[in-house]
Chain A
Amino acid sequence: MIFKQFRYEPLFQASYLVGCGRAREGLVVDPIADLGPDHYVLEAADQGLDVVGVLETHVHADFVSCARELAEMTGAPHYLHEAAQGLVRYPFTPLHDGQVLTIGQVEVRAIHTPGHTPEHTCFLVTDRARSEEPWAVLTGDSLFVGDVGRPDLLVGEDELDVYSEAERAELQFRSIHEKLFTLPEHVEVYPNHYGGSTCGGVNMSGKASSTIWFEKRFNLALAQPDVAAFAAFVRETAKPFPERYQWIKSYNLGLITREELEGAMRR
């Protein structure tokens, strides 16, 4: 298996390349426009891989995605969870909970983990060349190292937000406890953000990977006894909102053009 984490330090954002060296194919997860589609194409080529799929854990609000451009450049499908249907205004290939993408010896299983957003999905990675046991999970903005993805990044339109902040907090709590913390404890955790990212709270670690075992024991937000305590804790430990997140989210949903976004970012 080829597994590479790309960190974009100014935004504390992590994107990923997951592939099979023998099949010479790879998937890119959560590509960021600040690095750009060329970056991912060249990094994959350096590993001898063709990009055969572009996955997003969710529609992002704190950074500009380049998933659409990368999918167009490579001819690969752009995957999002099916709950993004009706929210995004561009075509994509829907994933359902439990769906497995197979790349040679590597399997990537979609685990729907609503909370941060309704369509949020984690990707469980198994390298069958090593073992049938899963090895890593890309947790997007659900489980962070030391923290969780915030539930309050709303656009402000009910049909796009789907859930309120309170509902998102409850979903996040349940998704992580029921779907991630039930994974084998050796599974490594690779989040979409770390450190100073404003997508999580003040307890996010600067370390950009962990394990299920470690987070089950030492993640303060998830040590809260119930949903109400969790929601209160997340609110109290939140950072300021990401800059212009509603504009970024609108672009990533396909509601506005890149030019409109750039105009808004300059204001």
Chain B
Amino acid sequence: MTPAEVAAAFAEGAVVLDLRPPRPFAAEHIPGALTMQFNRADLGERAELMLPRELRLVVHAEPEPIATAAVEILRGTGFEVLGALEGGLRAWKEAGYPTESLPLIDVDTLHADREQYTVVDAREGFEHRHGHVPGALLFPPGEAWERAEELPTGTPLAVVCGDQTRSAYVASVLRRHGREAVLVMGGMADWLERGYETERTTASA
């Protein structure tokens, strides 16, 4: 799809699914885009688990072979996929369309400024129970779309997972629901490496 076709679909309620890695996604993406990690083994399965069926999707992945493969996988899983953005973000911007970014923080910033954030843990219950950032709310990606409204308001949400894969998806969902969210790069792997404290009691959102 040309940028103009994507913009038209977007105006009619289609959602851009951005399959680039978290860092380039965070730096710049099509407004309102959701992001997930691509791979051929289980993209379909994860999309089924995480995305509402009724979404009409436009795929954004670079380079093009990934977009082609993703469209096929998602259609095979039963999603309505309108197509893939041709020419990537460069073509989108050259056509004059806007982009937005997702703020990133590292674990040192999260550790230092923890009171400024509500920490959202985008892992599964068993991982959260094993140890999480003190006060972090369990918020698995499979429930993010349904439960986005339940999170406390008033403070920005800092989303964390094992690294930054599931947290990027959850942050993109929360931002789509109008919430202010930042992505914690490096996630629990970096948090533990620094030796920062963890907590084992479970608080639910």
Q: Bound pair: A and B?
A: yes
Q: How far is the CB of B199 from chain A (nearest CB, A)?
A: 24
Evaluate contact between A74 and B41: CB separation under 8 angstroms: no
Contacts of A50 in B (CB 8 A): 21, 24
Evaluate contact between A46 and B40: CB separation under 8 angstroms: yes
Query: Does residue B69 face the partner (Cβ distance < 8 Å to A)?
Result: yes
- Contact partner of A42 (CB less than 8 A), chosen from B21, B24, B69, B163, is B69
Against B, the Cβ 8 Å flags (1 = close, 0 = not) of A41-55 are 110011110100000
- Contact partner of B63 (CB less than 8 A), chosen from A22, A48, A73, is A73
Smallest Cβ-Cβ distance to B38: which chain A residue: A45
Query: Does residue B130 face the partner (Cβ distance < 8 Å to A)?
Result: no
Evaluate contact between A74 and B39: CB separation under 8 angstroms: no
Contacts of A133 in B (CB 8 A): none
Evaluate contact between A46 and B39: CB separation under 8 angstroms: yes
Query: Does residue A4 face the partner (Cβ distance < 8 Å to B)?
Result: no
Question: Interface range on chain B: under 10, 10 to 19, 20 to 34, or 35 or more?
Answer: 10 to 19
| Residues 183-229 of A at the B interface (beta carbon under 8 Å) | none
Contacts of A74 in B (CB 8 A): 63
| Residues 2-56 of A at the B interface (beta carbon under 8 Å) | 22, 24, 37-38, 41-42, 45-48, 50
Evaluate contact between B38 and A22: CB separation under 8 angstroms: no
Evaluate contact between A48 and B66: CB separation under 8 angstroms: no
| Residues 63-109 of A at the B interface (beta carbon under 8 Å) | 73-74
Bound-state CA distance A37–B63 (Å) is 10
Q: How many residues of A contact B (CB 8 A)?
A: 13
Query: Does residue B46 face the partner (Cβ distance < 8 Å to A)?
Result: no
Contacts of B22 in A (CB 8 A): 24
Contacts of A45 in B (CB 8 A): 38-40, 66
Query: Does residue B189 face the partner (Cβ distance < 8 Å to A)?
Result: yes
Smallest Cβ-Cβ distance to A50: which chain B residue: B21
Evaluate contact between A22 and B189: CB separation under 8 angstroms: yes
Smallest Cβ-Cβ distance to A48: which chain B residue: B37
Contacts of B172 in A (CB 8 A): none
Bound-state CA distance A206–B41 (Å) is 29
- Contact partner of A41 (CB less than 8 A), chosen from B63, B163, B165, is B63
Bound-state CA distance A38–B69 (Å) is 10
Against A, the Cβ 8 Å flags (1 = close, 0 = not) of B23-40 are 110000000000001111
- Contact partner of B65 (CB less than 8 A), chosen from A41, A47, A48, is A41
| Residues 173-197 of B at the A interface (beta carbon under 8 Å) | 189
Evaluate contact between A41 and B66: CB separation under 8 angstroms: yes
Q: How far is the CB of A31 from chain B (nearest CB, A)?
A: 13
Known A-B contacts A22-B189, A41-B65, A41-B66; A46 and B41 likewise in contact (beta carbons under 8 Å): yes
Smallest Cβ-Cβ distance to A39: which chain B residue: B65
Bound-state CA distance A73–B62 (Å) is 9
Evaluate contact between B163 and A22: CB separation under 8 angstroms: yes
Bound-state CA distance A35–B39 (Å) is 18
Known A-B contacts A38-B65, A73-B63; A24 and B21 likewise in contact (beta carbons under 8 Å): yes
Query: Which of A38, A45, A73 has its CB near the most chain B CB atoms (within 10 A)?
Result: A45
Bound-state CA distance A239–B109 (Å) is 62
Bound-state CA distance A47–B40 (Å) is 10
Contacts of B21 in A (CB 8 A): 24, 48, 50
Known A-B contacts A45-B38, A45-B39; A24 and B189 likewise in contact (beta carbons under 8 Å): no
Against B, the Cβ 8 Å flags (1 = close, 0 = not) of A252-266 are 000000000000000
Contacts of B165 in A (CB 8 A): 48
Bound-state CA distance A195–B41 (Å) is 30
Q: How far is the CB of B185 from chain A (nearest CB, A)?
A: 11
Evaluate contact between B41 and A42: CB separation under 8 angstroms: no
Contacts of A46 in B (CB 8 A): 38-41
Q: How far is the CB of B36 from chain A (nearest CB, A)?
A: 11
Contacts of B24 in A (CB 8 A): 50
Bound-state CA distance A48–B20 (Å) is 9
Evaluate contact between B65 and A24: CB separation under 8 angstroms: no
Q: Provide 20 A-B residue pairs closer than 8 Å at the C-beta atoms, listed in order of the A residue.
A: A22-B189, A24-B21, A24-B22, A24-B23, A38-B65, A41-B65, A42-B65, A42-B66, A42-B69, A45-B38, A45-B39, A45-B40, A46-B39, A46-B40, A46-B41, A47-B39, A48-B21, A73-B64, A73-B65, A74-B63
Further pairs besides A24-B23, A45-B38, A48-B39: 8, Cβ < 8 Å: A38-B65, A41-B66, A42-B66, A42-B69, A45-B39, A46-B39, A73-B64, A74-B63
Q: Which 9 A-B pairs have the closest CB atoms?
A: A38-B65, A46-B39, A73-B63, A41-B65, A45-B66, A45-B38, A24-B21, A46-B40, A42-B65
